[in-house]
Amino acid sequence: AVTTFCLGFWVVRVTRTWVPKGLKSPPGPWGLPFIGHVLTLGKNPHLSLTKLSQQYGDVLQIRIGSTPVVVLSGLNTIKQALVKQGDDFKGRPDLYSFTLIANGQSMTFNPDSGPLWAARRRLAQNALKSFSIASDPTLASSCYLEEHVSKEAEYLISKFQKLMAEVGHFDPFKYLVVSVANVI
């Protein structure tokens, strides 16, 4: 009996999110212990999350494993979170899968939003600004970045057309990854 009680207490403790007094968790469906809503999301998580947002609203909570995840949908809600309350939403969760990517030192997947992250972000923003503001009057595009993206898109389309003519069908994933990497 004691073992059953301890096991039950542990399951409730692991699957329940601690919320500070006076606050409520966002609404959301009940998930399975330990795996959360992983099975609910399926192969098309964007469609599953759209259905959940229609049922629970623009702010809802799901679980990925035992980690609670707040999902935002709707243009106004996302704008409120990222633009008006950007400092409150700038962090990243400390997920195990993120630490596997570049040993947790990636600018995108790093849970730290401290001074090093801010310096890297400023560097990336300044680089993007320099390519997006400086324009050459001889170019058809309004900036170097737009010209580069346009050329890469033209190359990708021609590659897809060539592959369709030769093979008939292909997996575009690796070509898209290379194309995105070329732009970055």
What are the pLDDT digits (tens) for 67-84?
888 899 999 998 888 888
Indicate the pLDDT class of residue 117, thresholds 50, 70 and 90: confident
Q: Is the pLDDT of residue 113 over 90?
A: no
Task: Yes or no: say if 11 and 22 are a contact pair by the CB < 8 Å rule.
Answer: no
Token pair listed for 140: 């058809």
Q: Report yes or no on whether pTM surpasses 0.75.
A: no
pLDDT tens track for 13-70: 655 556 666 678 888 888 887 788 888 888 898 999 999 999 999 999 998 887 888 8
Task: Yes or no: say if 113 and 90 are a contact pair by the CB < 8 Å rule.
Answer: yes
- ∠ CA(183), CA(94), CA(179), 5° rounding? 15
**Residue 97: closest CA among 109, 80, 88, 86:** 109
Q: Is the pLDDT of residue 104 over 70?
A: no
Share of the chain above pLDDT 70, in %: 73
Query: C-alpha dihedral over 107, 113, 116, 119, to 10 degrees?
Result: 80
Q: Where are the domains of the chain?
A: 2-89, 135-183
**In sequence order, what are the residues at sequence separation of 6 or more whose Cβ sits closer than 8 angstroms to the Cβ of residue 179?**
152, 153, 155, 156
- The pLDDT score that the predictor gives to residue 143 is 72
Would you tell me how many other CB atoms lie within 10 Å of the CB of residue 2?
A: 6
